[in-house]
Structure formats: C-alpha cells, structure tokens
Amino acid sequence: MKRIIIILVAMIIGVELFAQKPISIIPKPVFIQQHTGTFEIDEKTSVHFDTDQLELKDAVSFFKQAIKSISGYELAENGDSKSIIQFILDTQSGIYPEGYNLVVEDNLITLKAGDKAGLVYGIQSLLQILPPVRTNAALEIPCMTIDDYPRFKWRGMHLDVSRHFFGPEVIKEYIDLMASYKLNVFHWHLVDDTGWRIEIKKYPKLTSVGAWRVDYNHIPWSQRPQAKPGETPDYGGYYTQEQIKEIVEYAALRNITIVPEIEMPGHIASAIAAYPELSCNQKAQLPLTGGDYTGISSNYCAGNDSVFDFLENILTEVIDLFPSTYIHIGGDEVNKTSWEKCERCQKRIHDEGLKDEHELQSYFIKRIEKFLLSKNRKLIGWDEILEGGLAPQATVMSWRGESGGVEAAKMGHDVVMTPGKPCYFDHYQAGPAGEPLAIGGFNTLKTVYDYEPIPAALPTDSKQHVLGAQANVWTEYIPTVSHLEYMVLPRMAALAEVVWSPAENKDWIDFNKRIQQHFKTYEQKGLNYCAGNATVAIKPVSSNGSLQVELSTELPSAEIYYTIDGSEPGNKSSKYSEPVNITSSAYLKAVSVVNGKVMGQEAASQHFVVHQAVGHNVDYLNPVSRYYQADGPNSLTDGVRGTGNVGKYWHGIVGKDLVATIDLGEVKDVGSIALGCLQKYVDWIFMPEKVVFETSVNGRKYKQVGEVLNPVAPGEAEKIYDFKVSVEALKARFIRVSAVSTVCPEGHSGAGKPAWIFADEIIVE
C-alpha cells in the first residue's frame, strides 16, 4: 500500500513539474534548477533591502519601476508582508564579479550579489520570466535556484548613428534591449564621414555644418552621388551634451558602459566640411552623402600640429561626458593617398624618422594615446591601428577576421573580437529573398550562436587578453527604427549567450526553444524581428573529381525537400538524407518543411554548370583573401557561377596575381578554357590586366596556349566577364590560369592603389 502511495505522489509531482511553464532565460544561466511551486508578485508583495546601501537602493528602484510598468503595483519597502523579495548586496559573498545567486520559494525570493551589476542581472532574469507588458495576468515566477556569472568582461553592441541618425529615445530602447540580455558595453559610433553627431561646445560648426548632409535617401547607398555646392544639407541630427549625459546615466543604471567612438585619422569628411583647414588640401567641401568619395577629403592632415590641438580639445569634452575607461578612436580604412602628396605630412615623416605613411598613422595614434593616458583613459581602436606599430597600451578591436586580434594578444595587448563573420549585424540573416535590403554578407542566427570568441590559433598564455566580443551595426542600409530592430533581433540574444554562458553549456536546439518565448515578447512590445532563417543552405563540395551538394537548415524540426530540374520543390519532392551527387548541369532548388508546411519566402536555388574541371582540386601560387574564399579552395571548380553579390561565390585577391592550377586527374581532350571575373567599381574590384592560360601533361613543363587582355572599360560600374581561349586538338592534365593584378584607375577614389581581382570559376570544356 505504501509503495502505491509513493508512486502516486511521485506521479503527481511529475505531472506538476511537467505542467510548469519552462524557464526561457537568455543568456542561459551557468546553473539553473526548477522546483515545484510558484511565487506570485501582487500588491501586497514587499521588497526588503538595506536602505543604507546606495547601489542596492538604485537596483531596487529599477526593479520596482519595472514591476510598476507591467502591473501598476507600487511595491512596499521593508514592509510587513508574507510575500517578500529580498535583495542582498554583500561584497564578501564570494560570488563572481557581475554574478548573482537567485533562490525563488513559494513566499520568498532572495537575490544576492557581490556587486551592483550582479543585482541588475539577477533582476533581468526575473523580468524575462514575467509578462513583458501590462496584461493584468498574474505575475508568477517558478520556484527555482540560479547561480550565474558571465564568461567575458566585454559583452558589447555597437551602433553607427553617423550614416543615419537615431534620436535619444531610440538609443534608450537599444540600451534596454542590451540590458535585458546582460550585455554591458554600448559602443556608440558618433563620428564618421557622413555626419558628426556629438555637440562640441568649442567647435560649434561640427554640428551646425558637419551634422547635416544632402538627402539622397531615395538612392541606394553605394550609388549616391556627392553633393554639389548650392544643394541644401538638411538630413541628419546630433546629440546635445545634456542629452548625452542623460543617456550615460540611463545606461549606467542598467550596468551598461558607453564607449564613444571619435573617428581619426580617417573617416572624418564631416569634420573637414566644418573646418577645411584640418585636411591636407584645405579645400571647402560638404559632408559625404554616400559611397562616392570623389573630390572628398576624409583624413586629418597628420603633419599639422593644429589638428592635434583640435582633437585634444574635442577629447577633453568627450572625456567629461563619458566616464568610460576606454575612448574609441577608430583608426580604420585610412586612405593614405593625401598624406603621400602632402608636404607637411612628408615633412613629419622625415622629421620623426618614420619609414612611411603606415608609420605616420602609428605616430598619429601613439600621440593621441599619450594624451588619453594623461587623462587616465585607455585607447581602443580597430585592428588597422596595428599598422606601422601598435601604441604601447592600446586595445585592439579585431574586425577584419581574427588575425589582428591574435597578433595583438600575442604582443600582450587586450583585444575585443568582432570579426565581420559573424559579428556584423548589418549583413543578411535570412533569405536574402524577402529580406530588407542589406549591405551584403550572410550572418544567420545560428552562425552568431556558434561563434567562439577565443580563436583556436591563440596560444594558451595569450587567451586572457581576449576581453570578449561585440556585434557591430553599420547603418548605410538601415534608415529606420523598425529596420534597426529587425537587424539586431534576435541575433543580439544569440551573441549574449556566446559572451555570457560557459562554452560547454551552449546548445543550439535548447536555445532555439527558448528564443521562441522571446519572439512572443518582441511581438507584445511591438518590436520588429526576424523569425529565423528558413532558407536551405546549399553547399557544394568539390573534391577528387566529383561534385556533391550538402543541404542544411537552421530550423531544428525541419525536413529538406529538393529538386534538380528547376521545378518548385514541396513535401512531395525528393527528401534530403545525404549529399546530392551532381553529374551533369543542374538547377537545384530546396525548401525547409515543418509539419508539412513549406517555410520561408521562396526556395533556395543554385545553378550548377558541369564541365571537365568540376570537382577537381585547385592549388594557388598566392593565397586568396581570407575574407573572400566562397566555399573554400575548390570554389573555382564547383560549377557555381558568381553574381553581383561580392560576399558569395567569389575568390578575392588584392595586390598579387591570382595563379590557380587544376589537376584534371588524367590527360583529357581540351577545347576551351575560361576564367570568370567580376568588376565592381565602387568596391575596388576590377578586371585583371590580362589572363594567361597554360597547360601541361606532366605538371612540370607548361605551355602557354592563350592570353586574353582585359576588354572591359575601367569606368564600367559592374560587369561579369569570361576571359576565354579556344584551342584545337589539345591534350592536357594540368591547367594553369594566371590573372594579372592591376590598380584602381584614374578618377577612382583609390587611384593607383592595388585593385581586387574576383574570380568565380575556371571552366574547362
């Protein structure tokens, strides 16, 4: 009898546990255990805390205000109640920095931390469980125990407000989103070519002139012309110093540090528009309007001492506004052409014993760092500040892949990892069919979630220099608040789990389940978001003379169906279970199907053109760029032709010839050889000077069988062209194709600089 009773009790407990609402906290806590029962917040609930602790009082005030906004309840302080929420701030608790301990019982919640940050994060975990808006539903919190603390110190989000200005209320919304996911650094990109966004009282023209540009918003960013004299600059805006102080205080209450970015020595056309004497040519100009730099000065003159006086005065006002330890100075993408032609810059190089313009940039950065250190601040900049020698105590933000961060960490410098893939949230996250226009690239929710901020190439003794990671939001193609929300949600949540939760606790399937509850929160708050990438990923695998296609989907419960004849796939088509062999030219289409329903806007599709080189291995004399490798070394033999999207299908190389050799595996009859290339003027991508074709039977002795000069005009904006030679009665096993490097043409903003060569396929027929 007793055994039956025990079994029944166990069953009842099990049913109760099963019936409880799952806890969907993001980022996933280090330890969490759910118990039976709930704690309900109502009008009789009281908050208990030591009123003598100011930081504790601020945290409790924040919590009370949040509860009032979703319920109308004014929680009593230290009152006599049977329903108590207890806050304890104990610096001797032994809890990790920014960590917290949370215990929820039927009539008592105890939140304990060793610092204010931990209290704020514990509160955020509680708020994620409660209704996001006032619905008059009961405020129930499951009984549970949580022990939690962050993995990394730097958990950041960036926002560019230069390309498009977002008002103070939008910045606060952005900060609220960050705070809800326990992110703690807001990198505020306040200055760039297209707009100066911070009031500097000593230099009023920075905002009266530099904050406004001619409105060309009806034209895609990369196609916008430069404004002409006489046109009225009326698009833009800026933040007053009072607004900035208010936002800094607002962020601090949520344990978010704002790191301001004041660009230098490049990306400052807006400042030059206000004060032309700061540039090398000292000519009047308007702020940049888009992607066309023709006739625009975007660098400070590094040989002019008044530039440094100007910047020190600006930074003094910036430091007074922002208590952050770090001041970001940019330092990226400096076109040094103006310095090469400037007598003052060349004199500076000579007088300081510098080798070249790279060392001139290093001189510039080191001089600014010395000033910041005198103000007890630290300099942080993009990884280009490594060029010419890194400033002694600088911190590097690695965006051009991870190599800059690895190099800096090995030198003993702190780094923040923010590589374009997957940390650029201005890239597409789904589709891109049906998606709002983006700058390019493809960083899906899963790509972000799978990121590991500590590079495998980093030695063990350098790993402590990785402070954390951040995502960047550049706004060339993000003009509205709704669009901004869409680009960061839900990828912000994925990044938060990357930088907070232990790596061994990450679980994509579990995260995907929890994010569904957050989608409901976004909907209730009226936030625009991406529901996920339903598009099937099509990955060609070219090796050993064969071509296969791997298909995958990010939807955990989805099945994949496909066709190879170009017809529209559905749940009656071929079901994917293993890589698809491609033996002849095909048009593959694929869809994700969940519970019999086709997901996404349209089928993923890819043409495959089969020729004699398809599937065979490719060797390179010079390595291609790590940023543009398409699907790997054999992308030139995967049967996939490129499009105008530079982020896919193309192999890119700059400053060197593209020399690729293919082994066909055996001697074959060859009738023609071609190399497909791309020209995209705005992206510094130009046709090679010429393409040379060689063949060999044994791989040792090669014979030139043709040479094709570039027939495409250098000023043509965009063009895909096949350099092709036809041959007769040729037998070959090895094919070598050499695309000769060139430079950007006269009239281009990079005139005389190395141009990119982009190639998509070597076609052998």
Cα–Cα distance, 332 to 264 (Å, whole number): 8
Q: Are residues 302 and 390 in the same domain?
A: yes
Contact present, 490 and 27 (Cβ < 8 Å): no
Which residues, 6+ apart, have CB-to-CB distance to 539 below 8 Å?
Answer: 549, 550, 551, 552, 631
pLDDT confidence of residue 318: 98
Please list, residue by residue across 516-529, b when 16 or more beta carbons sit within 10 angstroms of its beta carbon and e when fewer do: ebbbebbeeeebbb
As a three-state string, the secondary structure of 543-586 is ECCEEEEEEECCCCCCEEEEECECCCCCCCCEECCCCEECCCCE
For residue 285, what are the CA distances in angstroms to 203, 225, 598?
A: 17, 14, 53
- Model pLDDT for residues 195-209, shown as the tens digit of each residue: 999 999 999 999 999
Residue 5 has pLDDT above 70, yes or no: no
DSSP annotation of 472 reads B
Q: Which amino acid is at 413?
A: H
Residue 642 has pLDDT above 90, yes or no: no
Cα–Cα distance, 685 to 219 (Å, whole number): 21
Q: What is the CATH number of the domain that holds 244?
A: 3.20.20.80
Q: Are residues 579 and 679 in the same domain?
A: no
Domain boundary (608, 634, 651) is at: 608
Q: Are residues 205 and 122 in the same domain?
A: no
Which residues, 6+ apart, have CB-to-CB distance to 465 below 8 Å?
Answer: 408, 409, 412, 413, 414, 415
Q: Is residue 70 part of a domain?
A: yes
* Strand (E) or helix (H) holding 357: helix 357-374
Q: Are residues 402 and 461 in the same domain?
A: yes
Q: Are residues 406 and 451 in the same domain?
A: yes
Q: Are residues 493 and 542 in the same domain?
A: no
- Closest CA relative to residue 503, chosen from 151, 154, 26, 24: 151
Angle in degrees, CA 660, 664, 669, rounded to 5: 115
| Look-up of token digits 């052998």 | 764
- Model pLDDT for residues 665-715, shown as the tens digit of each residue: 999 999 999 999 999 998 899 999 999 999 999 999 999 999 999 999 999
Contact present, 268 and 298 (Cβ < 8 Å): yes
Q: Are residues 120 and 199 in the same domain?
A: no
- The residue-averaged pLDDT of 344-373 equals 96
pLDDT confidence of residue 647: 65
Q: Which domain holds residue 559?
A: 537-608
Q: Are residues 269 and 379 in the same domain?
A: yes
Catalytic residues: 192, 267, 333
Q: Is residue 3 part of a domain?
A: no
Rounded (10°) angle between helices 168-180 and 241-253? 20
Cα–Cα distance, 723 to 46 (Å, whole number): 77
What's the number of domains the chain is made of? 4
Q: Is residue 544 part of a domain?
A: yes
Q: Which amino acid is at 335?
A: N
pLDDT confidence of residue 10: 44
Contact present, 761 and 676 (Cβ < 8 Å): yes
Domain boundary (148, 164, 182) is at: 148
Which two structure tokens, joined as six digits, stand for 276?
A: 């032309």
Helix (H, G, I), strand (E, B) or coil at 502: coil
Rounded (10°) angle between helices 168-180 and 481-488? 20
Q: How confident is the model at residue 626 (pLDDT cuts 50, 70, 90)?
A: confident
Contact present, 529 and 568 (Cβ < 8 Å): no
Which two structure tokens, joined as six digits, stand for 745?
A: 């043409």
Q: Are residues 170 and 125 in the same domain?
A: no
Q: Is residue 49 part of a domain?
A: yes
Contact present, 589 and 562 (Cβ < 8 Å): yes
Q: How confident is the model at residue 13 (pLDDT cuts 50, 70, 90)?
A: very low
- Model pLDDT for residues 400-449, shown as the tens digit of each residue: 889 899 999 999 999 999 999 999 999 999 988 788 989 888 899 999 99
Question: Of residues 635 and 243, which shows the higher confidence score?
Answer: 243
Domain boundary (100, 119, 148) is at: 148
Q: Is residue 446 part of a domain?
A: yes
User: Hey, which residues does 212 pair with through a beta bridge?
Assistant: 236
Residue 453 has pLDDT above 60, yes or no: yes
Q: How confident is the model at residue 6 (pLDDT cuts 50, 70, 90)?
A: very low
Q: Which amino acid is at 377?
A: R
DSSP annotation of 636 reads G
Q: Are residues 371 and 470 in the same domain?
A: yes
* Whole-structure pTM value: 0.89
pLDDT confidence of residue 14: 45
Q: Is residue 530 part of a domain?
A: no
Q: What is the CATH number of the domain that holds 542?
A: 2.60.40
Q: Are residues 500 and 546 in the same domain?
A: no
Q: How confident is the model at residue 630 (pLDDT cuts 50, 70, 90)?
A: confident
Q: Are residues 177 and 235 in the same domain?
A: yes
- Model pLDDT for residues 79-131, shown as the tens digit of each residue: 899 999 999 999 999 999 999 999 999 999 999 999 999 999 999 999 999 99
Q: Compute and round to an integer the Cα radius of gyration of the chain.
A: 29
Q: Is residue 587 part of a domain?
A: yes
Which two structure tokens, joined as six digits, stand for 528?
A: 């625009």
Q: What is the CATH number of the domain that holds 627?
A: 2.60.120.1190
Average of per-residue pLDDT values in the chain = 93
For residue 86, what are the CA distances in angstroms to 23, 104, 126, 273, 491?
A: 21, 10, 13, 56, 33
Q: Is residue 16 part of a domain?
A: no
- Model pLDDT for residues 142-184, shown as the tens digit of each residue: 999 999 999 999 999 999 999 999 999 999 999 999 999 999 9
For residue 451, what are the CA distances in angstroms to 420, 443, 474, 514, 741?
A: 12, 11, 20, 18, 34
